[in-house]
């Protein structure tokens, strides 16, 4: 029990004392009692720690050293109309603090005050948050500095589901040899936004639907919770076209190559799956198909499902608005037939063969990603009427849901885009560039974040065989222009729409990635991207400053096969990060080597991140930690922040094996490793001309 004198200290004084501790010791101090835990997770304290350990500060100090500038002073640009805070007057001895030295105390105090003001100004340039936005800085510190563990979910087995208790179908001898690939990813919150139960939903190659436990609230983390019968998604398709007669495998006629092929409405417990030119609705509580709609062309993308707006369906011929509530009469009474009928004739009762003309035009090829934009300053659950579509055409098309007869406007990108997301706050390319170099004053930073009605559209993709990360400011032209801009020859007049459009575009095609960027997602106060090199990178919201990275298929060894979930409160992860432990991902070389993440999904929604995570206390439950779920095109994985090693797909199979089976599998693994090393040595020997000698 802590000393009563320590517990009775004011919070400000306790935080001042804690500021002299290393972050590792500050984390351990939270284990003493609940009061120290609450005080020790103060948002201001961990915000300062995030700033001190940021790549932004390291880069800024490195540039200043290269330019020969002192680290405690900085000259503002001469064209700025708002000067930096002036230093306090040096002629008044009363301005010196009580702690000043006896000799030259006034000058020393003035220097300290100026250095403190400069530190506050630089921190304001770095701060990624906006007015009214609330985040947990303790969680931010963990996600920016803690060790990264990469875990792999259980692989579903062919023939699972159909009323069989989860996991029981793995007891057959061929379970490990018959995994089924996942062909999509979406999140399902069966208990609402405020609960910790979180399930991952994916269509499988055999036409079934599978659900995994993401947080471990229903059992083992990463384990299969439910799996439907095979062929559920082949409703309205003849059996010959969907499943082969011998092994029930997928026919080449059924294409699951669409990345955005599944969307989940958690409030209504419905999932929408795109299978070629069919949109299949599945009740996630019963895993029964409740509706199928045919479209004239193959579906290329689905938007995120939301209970207040129709689902947007993209294809080569245009965009469709799909509202499942308008078809409730068609689905009535058909659930019983769809439950086990697979692709049989009984499924015809719930198929709607209505072909429509496109509600909104779109040039070919069809979009690869669709985004429903939220209102400015709001979370993702309050959507506006703006719809953005992007893909293999060089522009991002903007539609208004209230008038879909024509494209409202377009944003030229020039890249082949693969993913879209948004930030409900304004963006200025010029202000962001100046902030990245630490050039703005406090007043300028405040003005740059105060634009009314501003939003940020984030896109990623490929440009000339390199990755592209792009940010676009969305909103009306502001009444002010960024400091340092002025009318000139060949330049737009500040404050006009033309100037705003030019100032609202940022394209990072230099440092985002050397290969295609597949997915982008908001992850706390950062942007997370995945690329073709198997990397997951985190950037600041400026799109340029890299925070950290990890490789999902990296070989670090040392994995003993035991499942080690993240500690409940993340204290060990934060403490290990503060102690300087490496942040490389914990993983093993195996089937995951060389995998790439085609889609990233944060496990905590924007609503929970900004609305329920208190900035002073952080998340009170480890289950609410904002991990990163990803899909490789074949299976699912999880990036979480913990000093413990991640779990593997084989762990779920090994838990059901006998000692003899595990020993046999280990012998086979050892033999394969030995032979791999042998052939590597032979290849090296041939390179040096020794192949004939070793072969004789």
In this predicted model, what pLDDT tens digit does every residue of 277-290 receive, in sequence order? 899 999 999 999 99
More confidently predicted of 437 and 171: 437
Give phi and psi for 363, each to the nearest 5.
-70, 155
Q: What is the pLDDT of residue 460?
A: 97
Q: What is the pLDDT of residue 237?
A: 53
CA-based torsion, 536, 538, 539, 543: positive or negative: positive
CB atoms within 10 A of CB 177: 9
Q: What is the pLDDT of residue 336?
A: 39
Q: What is the pLDDT of residue 571?
A: 58
Instruction: Let me know the angle formed at the C-alpha of 615 by 11 and 605, rounded to the nearest 5 degrees.
Output: 160
Q: List Cβ neighbours of 56 (8 Å cut-off, separation of 6 or more).
A: 126, 436, 540, 545
d(CA 34, CA 475): 45
The answer, yes or no, to whether residue 51 has pLDDT greater than 50, is yes
- Structure tokens belonging to residue 403: 């008038």
Q: Say if CB 168 and CB 226 are below 8 A apart.
A: no
Query: What is the tally of helices (H) and strands (E) in the chain?
Result: 19, 28
Q: What is the pLDDT of residue 659?
A: 72
In this predicted model, what pLDDT tens digit does every residue of 444-481 receive, in sequence order? 999 989 888 889 999 999 999 999 999 999 876 444 44
Q: What is the pLDDT of residue 341?
A: 42
In this predicted model, what pLDDT tens digit does every residue of 317-355 receive, in sequence order? 899 999 877 764 444 344 434 434 444 444 444 555 555
Q: What is the pLDDT of residue 478?
A: 46
Q: What is the pLDDT of residue 663?
A: 78
Assign 172 a pLDDT band (cuts: 50, 70, 90).
Answer: very low
Give phi and psi for 543, each to the nearest 5.
80, 0
The answer, yes or no, to whether residue 587 has pLDDT greater than 60, is no
Q: Which residue has the tokens 């290849």?
A: 683
> In the predicted model, what is the mean pLDDT of residues 668-687?
80
In this predicted model, what pLDDT tens digit does every residue of 607-664 receive, in sequence order? 555 444 444 444 444 445 789 999 999 999 999 998 888 777 776 765 566 677 667 8
Q: List Cβ neighbours of 413 (8 Å cut-off, separation of 6 or more).
A: 390, 394, 395, 396, 459, 461, 468, 470, 507
- Structure tokens belonging to residue 71: 């680290």
- Domains and their CATH numbers in the chain: 1-65+136-145 (1.20.1280.50)
State what percent of residues in the chain have pLDDT above 70.
Answer: 67
Q: Say if CB 183 and CB 203 are below 8 A apart.
A: yes
Q: What is the pLDDT of residue 540?
A: 96
The answer, yes or no, to whether residue 92 has pLDDT greater than 90, is no
> In the predicted model, what is the mean pLDDT of residues 262-269?
94
Q: What is the pLDDT of residue 246?
A: 41
Provide the terminal-to-terminal Cα distance of the chain, rounded to the nearest Å. 74
Q: What is the pLDDT of residue 299?
A: 94
List C-alpha distances in Å: 131 to 48, 450, 539, 590.
Answer: 18, 8, 20, 46
Assign 105 a pLDDT band (cuts: 50, 70, 90).
Answer: confident
The answer, yes or no, to whether residue 254 has pLDDT greater than 70, is no
- Structure tokens belonging to residue 196: 């910790």
DSSP 158-209: TT--TTPPTTGGGGSTTTTT-B--B---EEE-TT-TTSS--EEEEEBTTS-E
Q: What is the pLDDT of residue 331?
A: 42
CA atoms within 13 Å, Cβ hemisphere of 249: 7
In this predicted model, what pLDDT tens digit does every residue of 388-410 receive, in sequence order? 999 999 999 999 998 888 899 99
Q: What is the mean pLDDT of the chain?
A: 77
In this predicted model, what pLDDT tens digit does every residue of 200-247 receive, in sequence order? 999 999 999 999 999 988 888 999 999 999 989 987 554 434 444 344
CA quadruple 155, 157, 163, 169: dihedral, nearest 10: -100
Q: Which of 47-61, 95-109, 546-560 has the highest mean pLDDT?
A: 47-61
d(CA 203, CA 60): 46
Q: What is the pLDDT of residue 32?
A: 86
d(CA 676, CA 487): 66
The answer, yes or no, to whether residue 692 has pLDDT greater than 80, is no
Give phi and psi for 35, each to the nearest 5.
-65, -45
d(CA 649, CA 428): 44
> In the predicted model, what is the mean pLDDT of residues 133-154?
93
Q: List Cβ neighbours of 23 (8 Å cut-off, separation of 6 or more).
A: 49, 141, 574, 575, 577, 578
Q: What is the pLDDT of residue 162?
A: 42
Reduced to 3 states, what is the DSSP secondary structure of residue 300? strand
| Among 614, 622, 659, residue whose Cα is nearest residue 641 | 622
Q: Say if CB 459 and CB 390 are below 8 A apart.
A: yes
Assign 500 a pLDDT band (cuts: 50, 70, 90).
Answer: low
Assign 67 a pLDDT band (cuts: 50, 70, 90).
Answer: confident
CB atoms within 10 A of CB 571: 18
């Amino acid at each position: 029990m802590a000393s009563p004198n320590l517990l009775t200290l004011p919070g400000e004084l306790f935080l001042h004392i804690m500021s002299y501790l290393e972050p590792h010791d500050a984390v351990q101090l939270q284990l003493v009692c609940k009061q120290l835990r609450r005080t020790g997770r103060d948002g201001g304290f961990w915000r300062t720690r995030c700033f001190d350990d940021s790549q932004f500060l390291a880069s800024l100090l490195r540039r200043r050293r290269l330019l020969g500038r002192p680290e405690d002073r900085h000259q503002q640009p001469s064209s700025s109309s708002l000067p930096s805070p002036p230093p306090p007057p040096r002629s008044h001895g009363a301005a010196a603090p009580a702690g000043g030295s006896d000799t030259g105390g006034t000058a020393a105090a003035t220097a300290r005050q100026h250095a403190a003001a400069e530190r506050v100004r630089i921190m304001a340039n770095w701060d990624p948050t906006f007015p009214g936005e609330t985040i947990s800085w303790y969680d931010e510190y963990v996600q920016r500095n803690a060790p990264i563990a990469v875990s792999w979910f259980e692989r579903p087995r062919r023939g699972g589901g159909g009323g069989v208790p989860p996991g029981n179908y793995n007891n057959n001898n061929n379970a490990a040899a018959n995994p089924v690939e996942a062909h999509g990813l979406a999140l399902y919150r069966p208990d609402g936004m405020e609960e910790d139960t979180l399930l991952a939903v994916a269509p499988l190659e055999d036409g079934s639907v599978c659900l995994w436990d993401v947080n471990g609230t229903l059992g083992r983390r990463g384990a299969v919770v439910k799996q439907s019968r095979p062929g559920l998604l082949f409703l309205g398709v003849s059996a010959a076209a969907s499943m082969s007669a011998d092994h029930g495998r997928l026919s080449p006629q059924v294409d699951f190559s669409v990345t955005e092929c599944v969307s989940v409405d958690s409030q209504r417990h419905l999932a929408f799956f795109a299978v070629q030119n069919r949109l299949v609705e599945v009740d996630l509580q019963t895993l029964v198909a409740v509706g199928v709609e045919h479209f004239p062309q193959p579906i290329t993308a689905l938007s995120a499902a939301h209970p207040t707006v129709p689902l947007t369906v993209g294809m080569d011929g245009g965009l469709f608005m799909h509202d499942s509530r308008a078809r409730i009469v068609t689905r009535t009474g058909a659930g019983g037939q769809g439950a086990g009928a697979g692709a049989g004739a009984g499924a015809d009762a719930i198929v709607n063969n209505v072909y429509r003309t496109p509600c909104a035009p779109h040039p070919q090829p069809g979009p690869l990603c669709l985004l429903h934009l939220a209102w400015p300053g709001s979370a993702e659950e309050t959507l506006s009427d703006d719809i953005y579509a992007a893909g293999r055409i060089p522009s991002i098309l903007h539609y208004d849901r209230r008038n879909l007869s024509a494209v409202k406007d377009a944003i030229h990108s020039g890249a082949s885009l693969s993913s879209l997301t948004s930030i409900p706050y304004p963006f200025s390319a010029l202000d962001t560039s100046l902030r990245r170099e630490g050039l703005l004053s406090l007043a300028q930073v405040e003005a740059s974040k105060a634009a009314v009605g501003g939003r940020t559209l984030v896109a990623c993709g490929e440009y000339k065989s390199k990755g592209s990360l792009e940010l676009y400011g969305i909103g009306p032209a502001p009444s002010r222009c960024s400091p340092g801009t002025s009318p000139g020859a060949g330049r737009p007049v500040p404050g006009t729409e033309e100037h705003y459009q030019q100032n609202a575009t940022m394209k990072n095609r230099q440092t985002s990635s050397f290969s295609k960027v597949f997915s982008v997602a908001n992850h706390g106060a950062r942007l997370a991207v995945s690329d073709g090199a198997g990397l997951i990178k985190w950037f600041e919201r400026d799109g340029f400053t890299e925070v950290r990275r990890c490789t999902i298929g990296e070989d670090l060894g040392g994995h003993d096969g035991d499942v080690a979930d993240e500690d409940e409160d993340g204290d060990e992860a934060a403490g290990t990060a503060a102690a300087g432990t490496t942040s490389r991902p914990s993983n093993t070389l195996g089937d995951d080597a060389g995998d790439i993440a085609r889609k990233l999904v944060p496990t905590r929604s924007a609503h929970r991140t900004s609305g329920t995570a208190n900035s002073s206390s952080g998340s009170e439950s480890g289950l609410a930690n904002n991990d990163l779920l990803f899909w490789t095109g074949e299976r699912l994985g999880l990036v979480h922040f913990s000093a413990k090693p991640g779990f593997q797909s084989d762990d779920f199979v090994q838990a059901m094996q006998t000692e003899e089976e595990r020993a046999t599998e280990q012998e086979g693994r050892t033999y394969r490793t030995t032979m791999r090393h042998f052939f590597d040595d032979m290849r090296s020997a041939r390179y040096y001309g020794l192949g004939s000698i070793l072969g004789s």
